[in-house]
Structure 1
């Protein structure tokens, strides 16, 4: 059976249900074990189709990754600089989908807003993934105002693209 090509596209309000299913499924497996129960429940509520649809209508950009007709990854950016959701389905991890999805999301923000600095709050298990994508820890693990246990991370892009730098 031939492997399917990864297809990336922007999310639309009618994608909210599928996005929510993927986010909740991955969060239950990888994020919730490190969260207090009340925080985990609130986190799952933010992944409802209704909330996601509202965010899409407010202008949050959700990038979706598909293999065939299967939604395998989701990223969501707020204010063209803060990655608020970044999930790849468990069975699809380790295939380079996260890297391709992040590159698409990052380049979209760079193109649209000239973004050079990206931030996120990482779950404990995702810190190694973000480090491989070029992020650095911006502080120690702690709790957000909503009580979510996370590590702040940052990615600063070079001031000038490598291709245009002058050689010394």
Structure 2
């Protein structure tokens, strides 16, 4: 059914669309796109870099699709840090970020485990993470041309 949202482990065949989705939203977290400091970060969003992360056992990538179309992606590093969470702009405010977060959370937690989670949120996404129970844990920061707010969920 094409309207059904499906969430599952990211497949290596999706690296191009995952990269394209994240790069299309770069304006929300890159402070100055022309700054040469941001180059290495943007390269980390290249399909080959995403493929390496998907293959890395420290990372778990999950995708949300409708039909064959990628609608969102979440990645956890070491089961405790939200490394990526992006949703296609035409799907914003439709519960996809929450569905991805809840899926990743359920997969990351082992029975009886209640550890903390962290994220370096774009300024744009702070309200989303607050709705997921995260709280700002430090000042707005800019590193390597990327502007973010550290957040934590206990």
Does TM, normalized by the shorter one, top 0.5?
yes
Q: Which has the larger radius of gyration?
A: 1
Aligned length: 152
Larger helix share, 1 or 2: 1
Q: For residue 39 of structure 1, report the CA deviation from its aligned partner.
A: 4.0
Q: Secondary structure at the match of 2:110?
A: helix
Correspondence 1:98 to 2:97: yes
Q: For residue 68 of structure 1, report the CA deviation from its aligned partner.
A: 1.5
Please report the TM-score for the alignment, with normalisation by the length of structure 2.
0.89
Cα contact 1:118–1:155 (8 A) shared by 2 = yes
Residues 105-142 of structure 1 show CA distances to partners (whole Å, capped at 9, x for unaligned) of: 11111138935210010111111111111100001111
RMSD: 2.1
Cα contact 1:65–1:72 (8 A) shared by 2 = yes
Task: Give 1:73's aligned residue.
Answer: 72
Task: Give 1:132's aligned residue.
Answer: 131
Please report the TM-score for the alignment, with normalisation by the length of structure 1.
0.82
Q: Which runs of 4+ in 1 moved over 4 A?
A: none
The structure with higher relative contact order (CA 8 Å, sep 6+) is 2
Q: For residue 43 of structure 1, report the CA deviation from its aligned partner.
A: 2.6
Distance 1:112 1:50 in 2: 34
Distance 2:124 2:55 in 1: 30
Unaligned runs of at least 5 residues, structure 1: 157-168
39-48 or 74-83, larger mean C-alpha shift: 39-48
